[in-house]
Amino acid sequence: GKHWTVNEVRALIHIWSDKNIQQQLEGAVRNKRIFEQVAARLQKFGIDRDWKQCRTKYKNLKHEYKSVKSAQGSGNTSKSMKFFNELDAILGHCTIEQASKSDN
């Protein structure tokens, strides 16, 4: 799909940081409905993404975050990513085990 701009990713993270959305994502196995909500909220920002694009981007960000986090945990500080701090604010509190549970 179309490459995500920095503003689009920021908007996605902003919606993702909503406690309500986080709680739904943490408990969900089938999360299409949640990402439909996310996509609808992005539309309000004038961002046209479907739920699949949102879910894919969410998964990719989460995966990248986790690999940076674990690299840091093993003392490798050279690995970093653009939105690490924003994601750390959302994901930093939950255990890796919780994080992987809500991946699928």
| Digitized pLDDT (tens) for each residue of the chain, 104 residues in all | 579 999 999 999 999 999 999 999 988 788 999 999 999 999 999 999 999 999 999 999 999 999 999 998 899 888 889 999 999 999 987 544 444 554 44
- Tell me how many domains the chain contains: 1
Range of the domain at 75: 6-94
Residue with tokens 């961002």: 47
Q: Is residue 99 part of a domain?
A: no
Across 66-104, b (16+ Cβ under 10 Å) vs e yields: bebbeeeeeeeeeeeeebbebbeebbeeeeeeebeebee
User: How confident is the model over 73-100, as pLDDT tens digits?
Assistant: 899 888 889 999 999 999 987 544 444 5
| Domain presence at residue 100 | no
102 part of a folded domain = no
Assigned domain for 103 exists: no
Whether this model's pTM surpasses 0.85: no
